[in-house]
Amino acid sequence: MHVPDGFLDVPTSVATGVVAVAGLGLALRGARRELDDRTAPMAGLVATFVFATQMLNFPVGAGTSGHLLGGALAAVLVGPWTGLLCVSVVLIVQSLLFADGGITALGTNITLMGIVGVLVGWAVFRGLQIVLPKSLALVPPIAAVAALVSVPVASLAFVGLYAVGGTAPIPLESLATAMLGWHTLIGIGEALITGLVVGSVTAVRPDLVYGARRTLRARELEIRVTQGAPG
């Protein structure tokens, strides 16, 4: 979903640039609460994995492909603020070195795939986690659902930006329908990859999965109640 230069007009691109800079500023502060000596290497790994996986376009229908956006994945693994930093680093490297995603559209892409992707992914994940029983086994499927929702919402956010500052006069309704259709299919791929990766890390080191912390705390409490407080 990398927006190239020219799709959106200059004022809209400047506005999304301001939003992106503000979001990154908040993320730099927020990530401090999420990162310590133990979790900092995870952030590097998550960003690297998102970059690698974004190269893997999978077919979603006749002559069309999609790839992982990674917002929900990063948010669940390393926390939403750190996740936003990870996705943003990927988008900046892709734009400046790989000519993937316009340079004047960098703010737009950080806003769409970073801020919207992470925010929606994390909100759906936490929302479901609050409603459903606190269980470690539920973390990967909930992350998958969050990923599934995040992609079509990000595509609608693009339509919203296009409504404000699109450079071609096209009917918004058909743009929204087409974007939503393809990105719902891409969202299924996003959900599968996110569920698989979160499931793999949860299986070996649940304590390193940011979104699993609350379920682990609940579990620790249970053990203490049945076996008595240690030492």
Site for another protein in 102-131 (CB under 8 A): 102-103
- Long-range own/partner contacts, residues 196-201 (CB < 8 A, 24 or more apart): 196/140, 197/49, 197/73, 197/77, 198/73, 198/76, 198/77, 198/139, 198/140, 198/143, 198/144, 199/140, 201/77
User: Which residue's CB is nearer to another protein, number 131 or number 173?
Assistant: 173
For the record, the structure tokens of 219 come out as: 């579990």
Of the candidates 39, 104, 22, the one whose C-alpha atom is nearest the C-alpha of residue 74 is 39
Lay out the site mask for another protein across 55-74 (x = CB under 8 A, - = otherwise). xxxxxx--xxxxx-------
Q: How far is Cα 14 from Cα 109, in angstroms, rounded to an integer?
A: 12
| One of 86, 116, 147, 157 touching another protein (CB under 8 A) | 86
> Which residues fall within 8 angstroms of residue 174, CB to CB, at 6 or more apart?
none
| One of 12, 13, 16, 82 touching another protein (CB under 8 A) | 82
For the record, the structure tokens of 112 come out as: 């769409």
| Touching another protein, residues 13-52 (CB under 8 A) | 28, 31-33, 35-49, 51-52
Contact status: 97 vs another protein (CB under 8 A): yes
Shortest distance (Å) from residue 75 CB to another protein: 15
User: Which residue's CB is nearer to another protein, number 48 or number 135?
Assistant: 48
Contact status: 194 vs another protein (CB under 8 A): no
Is residue 190 within 8 A of residue 58, CB to CB? The reply is no
Contact status: 224 vs another protein (CB under 8 A): no
Q: How many residues make contact with another protein (CB under 8 A)?
A: 73
| One of 128, 156, 208, 216 touching another protein (CB under 8 A) | 208
* Span interacting with another protein, options 83-91, 120-128, 134-142, 221-229, rule CB under 8 A: 83-91
Shortest distance (Å) from residue 101 CB to another protein: 9
